[in-house]
Amino acid sequence: MRSIISITDLTLEEIEHLIAVARDIIVHPERYSAVCRGKKLATLFFEPSTRTRLSFEAAMQELGGTVLGFSEAQSSSAAKGESVADTARTVSCYADIIAMRHPKEGAPMVAAQHATVPVINGGDGGHNHPTQTLADLLTIHMEKGRFDNLTVGFCGDLKFGRTVHSLITAMARYPGVRFVLISPEELKVPSYVKIPLKANNITYIQTTELREVIPELDILYMTRVQRERFFNEADYVRLKDSYILTPDKLTNARDDLSIMHPLPRVNEIPVAIDRDPRACYFKQVLYGKYIRMALIMMLLEVTK
């Protein structure tokens, strides 16, 4: 039995396999419509979610399986004080695989240590979000056809952004990748994320200026400043509008720039950008379903 807690739990070969399967599902969905018949996915979401939870549910249903679970901690026995370990053991009696989101870093790891079925981390605090990273990687592969020799800009909340941390970790394994880290000083990428970059001589720069670096980018990964991660409301209010991607800021960007965002957005990408052919964030949403289908199949060891 195997769980996926971090993107590094997958080898590069496994990621390539998942992308190949996801691309085949996109073209031939009918081949996969019954591969998980009789299987059950439990979605244990202790924190609010729209895309991750619903895409997991849609993924399992489109594979022919069924779904059970909860969408907030208050509708589970966690409200009565039940531990994550006991919840995982209990739900293992009812489901074949678990997708879990939790506001505390490390909670899905605890669940995986006590569950008797595979556990997929659907996001834990400001730490990891491996299936969003897989959705991001599929988007990049669909848009660019490769992962190597790309300049990737991350903009916004790089301190608490678990999607940013996971994607940096994933992309750092490919040759010729360069990172441009754009954020206020208070929201810079944590040291633990940068340590592997330095150790492996991966090029990165840190800046507070989006407009100056946007001409260099193959990919611009925007993020929202996350109110729920702040302990001080005044700090959130001061930083929340640090980066807003207005059309004029794209004037000098490359014609083949890919604009990505894990969503939800607040105001950092105005709806006017949605009409720009370089906008890829709603493609990410759709690709998230397909890559989760491929991952569920891998962990349940089912084939078409």
Burial (0-12, 13-18, 19+ Cβ within 10 Å), 255: exposed
Single-letter amino acid, residue 47: E
Q: Enumerate the β-bridge partners of residue 153.
A: 180, 220
Check if 51 is active-site.
yes
Catalytic residue among 40, 43, 52, 87: 52
10-residue mean pLDDT profile of the chain (304 residues): values are 94 97 98 98 92 96 96 67 92 97 92 97 85 97 96 92 90 94 88 85 93 96 71 59 86 97 91 96 97 98 87
Catalytic residue among 51, 188, 249, 265: 51
Check if 129 is active-site.
yes
b/e burial code for range 109-122 (CB count within 10 A of at least 16 → b): bbbbebbebbbbbb
> What is the pLDDT at residue 27?
97
> What is the pLDDT at residue 64?
98
Catalytic residue among 101, 127, 224, 240: 101
The residues, any chain, with a CB within 8 Å of residue 195's CB and separated by 6 or more, are: none
Check if 101 is active-site.
yes
Model's pTM, two decimal places? 0.91
Could you give the CA distance from residue 33 to residue 83 in angstroms, rounded to a whole number? 35
Catalytic residue among 129, 162, 165, 240: 129
The CA-CA-CA angle for residues 72, 281, 173, to 5°, reads 90
**Domains of the chain (ranges plus CATH)?**
7-128+288-300 (3.40.50.1370), 130-284 (3.40.50.1370)
Give me 41's structure tokens: 């996915």
> What is the pLDDT at residue 229?
53
State how beta strands 66-70 and 40-45 pair. Answer: parallel
> What is the pLDDT at residue 146?
95
Check if 141 is active-site.
no
pLDDT tens track for 93-133: 999 999 999 988 899 999 999 999 999 999 887 678 899 99
Burial (0-12, 13-18, 19+ Cβ within 10 Å), 248: exposed
> What is the pLDDT at residue 76?
64
Check if 17 is active-site.
no
Could you give the CA distance from residue 89 to residue 232 in angstroms, rounded to a whole number? 36
